[in-house]
Structure 1
Amino acid sequence: MLDKVKLGLLGLVLVISALSVYQISSLKGEISDLRNDMTANLSSLKTMNNSVPSTGTNDPNKITTKIENKNPLPTNNTKPQGPTTSIKFAEELHHFGTVEVESENLYSFEFSNTGNEPLTISNAKGSCGCTVPQWPKEPIMPGQTANIDVKFTPNKGQAGQEVEKVVTVTANTVPENTMVRIKANVVEK
């Protein structure tokens, strides 16, 4: 019985650790610390696992947990190459209010290049397929403003919820990633 409890707790610790990695990975400055903590936790878990007697491969009570990492952490801290500048959004959060499932909801996030070098956006990515950003491909000169257009199309699984999505903008800025958010109360058609 004690072995089952140990294995159950081991699985729970792994799941909680994986969820923590996913949530914290968006915080740029803490990725390195998190990676070190996870390595220490995994070493501890391996030590615990090695101390649990084997139940054999044909044991019907054997607990097997497989966690697939669909959002792996970057292997190194990337920094923009070349000169850097800064970006400032007029608004970092837009709330659409109440929207229907499968409706197209558009919003333009206005931003300014507040630095002294041309601003080049290399990527803008929504946190799910329902959030699609379009960004200017040409450099934005110092002092100029431009827009990132975001299309939010909620799906049926989001009905009855207040949904929040993130658009991560990658540019030659420090920090390299800047996030803007959208929210909506999604209802059935």
Structure 2
Amino acid sequence: MKEQLVFATNNPHKIEEIRRQLGDRYTFRSLQDIGCTEDIPETETTLEGNARLKARHVKSNYGQDCFSEDSGLEVAALGNAPGVDTAHYAGPQRDAEENNTKLLSELGDRKDRLARFRTVICLIQGDTETLFEGVCEGRIATSPVGHGGFGYDPVFVPTEGDGRTFAQMKQDEKVRISHRGRAIAKLQEYLKSRSGADRPTG
């Protein structure tokens, strides 16, 4: 029987990435699936804080064990901006194209284009709260390239790749080196270890 996991998001792109990585062992329920239709404010100043905030909201208000994540793009030359403002860098409308346009405008013709994506996952099971982090180093391209992925994928070139942006990669290629893929891999290993520990030994 499949285990059920509540993922504190309604973003279909994120749900699909995680479903592909964790495979058939789990049935995912989104916020909408559990009747959570309110917008959970992300008012913390760190990715860790926002991940905890969302998971705790679901646990407190819906009584569901769950996990949540917050991801941010940190650009060195911009003082690690946009950071926690990644999704709404260009405004509350959360428009990816506008976010990319603003980012490229802020960087201008700077030579230093080093950046990294970072994901923090907060898992709550019962009274236990656990954090997992995934990081992908890279740089910002001078213009958007590629039509895949979402968010800043067209302008982010991972260091461990071959010069292509995330948006030029196939989904499986991206997952292997992406920040979210790495954080989910840590979550997966933790869930496996917990599952093994819960099995009777005699």
Give the alignment's TM-score, normalised by structure 1: 0.25
| Structure in which a larger fraction of residues adopt strand | 1
- Structure number with higher helix proportion: 2
Between 1 and 2, higher relative CO (CA 8 Å, sep ≥ 6) is seen in: 1
Q: TM-score, normalised by structure 2?
A: 0.23
> Rg: which structure is higher?
1
